[in-house]
Structure 1
Amino acid sequence: MKRLDQLTLKQMRALSAVVDEGTISAAADRLGLTGPAIHSQLKSLEDIIGAPLLIREGRERNTPTAQGQAILDAYSELRAAMARALHRINALNSGLEGSVVLGVVSTGKYFAPRIVAQLHKELPGIEVILKVGNRQEILAALEKRELDICIMGRPPRAPQVDARPLAQHPHILIASADHPLAQKDLILREDLFEQKFVVREPGSGTRILATRFLDETGTAQKVSVVEMSSNETIKQAVIYGLGIALISAHTVADELRSGRLIALPCHGLPIYRTWYILSRADQRLSATAEKVRDWAISHAAELLPDLKDLKNTGHTG
């Protein structure tokens, strides 16, 4: 047999049409070709195969030889494979299939798995690869083009990004249920004097916000600070009475509902920031990444923790 790459779909299509229609002339009519063109394609195919492909049975019938049937079977499989490929291409072009790398700052890890799980249910053809890190780590990954889209608070100055609002992001002051401040109806600035604040590491968005809050209330020089490396350790430290903390309400929704933590009613709180979903401005998103971004924006209200019932815990939003 000659080289495989000499076979063409046109040759196999001509063979299939002759077998289906019975004659070369009928096959030519179906395909919009001339009889000699069909004959030439069959002759080329027989030369490649090295054997006859058709048995002539009367004037109106051409049946395949064993070799011809093998080609027809292969052609049928090729058509099915191409149909599947085109279906997948259409899905990719419409954003219904493919993979997306989603970066989320660590404060968002409490709702990010819900986003991935719900996406899997509603858009099962899309694989979402979730990467969680602190703000500096997510920005570094964005800089290296390791992320398609990411969720964070304040958009960075560099690299330039296309940032779209996702949802409000309230920050509250939390304490343990038996903390001395827990019994007060309203926390005044002087009530914060001599308090111990549990804060995130430098560079964290939550740390930046806590520092700004202490500066704006004039208490920065009057409180002591204990640094923790994650929101989870901050929650545990506050639960066990180590201090109080300014933290994202989305990270402590469950603890507030269970009573393990309370939100202290304080002037100027909650501080409302915004969650953004963003991508590099100089990086064109795939249709799949656009689909995930737009889906997340339209479903944000149901994906983030419900904070409406937190007013009974001191939350004053």
Structure 2
Amino acid sequence: MPRPEAVTFKQLRALQAVAEHGSITAAAEAIRLTPPAVHTQLRQLEANFNARLFERGPQGVARLTAQGDAVLVGARAIDTALEACADHVRALNEGMEGMVTLGVVSTAKYFAPRLVAELQRAFPTIDIILRVSSREGIVSALQTASVDLAIMGRPPRAPAVQATVLGPHPHVLIAPGNHPLVGQGRVAPETILAETFIAREEGSGTRILMDRFIERLGSGRPARMIELESNETLKQAVMAGLGIALISRHTVVDELKQGRLAELDAQTLPMIRQWFLVNRSDTPLSPAGGRIHAHICGQQGAFLPK
């Protein structure tokens, strides 16, 4: 019975050399072995396949049998597969291939798809997975290492991360385009606090900023709030006249241009924060992840809404 599991690369190399050079002596010289060593490799290969793989003719000429030709086809297929494997490993090592998961907080979903499309054009052989979630979801994904990179407004304390500033992240106070306070110049704190605030859920980055804004504006005075769980619902609520909201300007670019929403001028506004690109400091990025990280940082925030 043939025993292919016992076949070695040395044995196959000896057979290929004999097929190419026509004799054991020439084959031995080509692969830098002695003729007896080549002969031994061939005999072991024949034993492993339980077949005669070559015949010796006059003047030392060696010719492969039909069985030897069959093994030669297999040996060449192995060489081709190994070369392809080596090319793939080299591409992975150099960051030319691979998969990178980019997590973004929900506020970043207004520009992240364009960024990913640009990355795919720049790195067509790297698979880039976009994952959108709440701040808590992205922090959890960093903790479980289910994302390689993340774009967020405030780096977490845990897990420990390396954070690179991408660009400014302004937050503004919005109202319906026809709100009486629109265009009235700087609005007094008491007037703002008399309004109903449309707020994101507890724990979101936008909600944290809104709470700080109200605290600073009213010195601890409570404000009326309606809590919603998405920026889209929040925008619709403001446009419907349910209240005003502090929100990332990057989420309302179109609505502001169209006049459906308007910015209110108030003390300490706009609140300028920063977008950060983060990755775990205790987990080295893959070569592909490193290339994506460098490319995003090299954009210097050009992909952010203007």
Return the TM-score normalized by structure 1. 0.90
Which secondary structure does the structure 1 equivalent of 2:294 belong to? helix
SS in 1 for 2:70: helix
- Between the aligned partners of 1:255 and 1:57, the Cα distance in structure 2 is 87
Letter in 2 for 1:130: L
1:292 counterpart SS class: helix
Offset at residue 209 of structure 1 (A): 0.5
Instruction: Tell me how far apart the structure 2 counterparts of residues 58 and 252 of structure 1 sit (CA, whole Å).
Output: 88
Percentage identity across aligned positions? 45
Offset of 1:60 from its aligned partner? 6.8
CA shift at 1:273, angstroms?
Answer: 0.8
Alignment of 1:287-302 (within 5 A): 287-302=287-302
Q: Which runs of 5+ in 1 are unaligned?
A: 308-317
| Aligned counterpart, 2:283 | 283
CA distance in structure 2 between the aligned counterparts of 1:270 and 1:51, rounded to whole angstroms: 83
- Distance between the aligned counterparts of 1:178 and 1:263, measured in 2? 11
* Residue equivalent to 2:77: 77
Q: Please list the CA deviations of residues 168-202 of structure 1 after superposition, one character each: whole Å capped at 9, or x if unmatched.
A: 21111122211111222333434413112111011
Question: C-alpha displacement at 1:116, in angstroms?
Answer: 2.3
1:249-264 correspondence runs (5 A): 249-264=249-264
- Listed as ranges, the matches of 1:31-46 within 5 Å are 31-46=31-46
- The alpha carbon displacement at 1:210 in A equals 0.9
2:99 corresponds to which residue?
99
Matched, 1:238 2:238: yes
Aligned residue for 1:83, secondary structure, equals helix
Within-5 A mapping of 1:54-203: 54-59=54-59, 61-203=61-203
* Alignment partners' CA distance in 2, 1:222 and 1:45: 86
Q: Distance in 1 between matches of 2:264 and 2:64?
A: 85
Contact 2:102 2:149 in 1 (8 A): yes
Residue 12 (structure 1) shift: 0.9
8 Å CA contact 2:193–2:218 kept in 1: the answer is: no
| Residue 81 of structure 1, CA deviation | 0.8
Q: CA deviation at 1:299?
A: 2.6
Q: Name the Cα RMSD after superposition.
A: 1.9
- Whole-Å Cα distance in 1 between the matches of residues 238 and 129 of structure 2? 32
Q: Would you say the 8 A contact 1:103–1:130 is kept in 2?
A: yes
Q: Which residue of 2 aligns with 1:313?
A: none
Residue pair 1:192, 1:223 contacting (<8 A) in 2 also? no
Structure 1 counterpart of 2:155, one-letter code? P
1:58 to partner: Cα distance? 4.3
Aligned to 1:20: 20
SS at match of 2:151: strand
Please say if residues 4 and 49 of structure 2, whose CA atoms lie closer than 8 Å, have aligned partners that are also in contact: no
Q: Which runs of 5+ in 2 are unaligned?
A: none
Tell me the amino acid that sits aligned with residue 271 of structure 2. I
Q: Determine helix, strand or coil for the equivalent of 1:20.
A: helix
1:46-67: CA deviation from partner (whole Å, max 9, x where unpaired): 1111222123454374332111
Secondary structure in 2 aligned to 1:180? coil
1:192 counterpart letter in structure 2 = I
Q: TM-score, normalised by structure 2?
A: 0.93
Deviations 1:115-172 (CA, angstroms, capped at 9, x unpaired):
2222222212222222222112222222233222211111112222122222221111
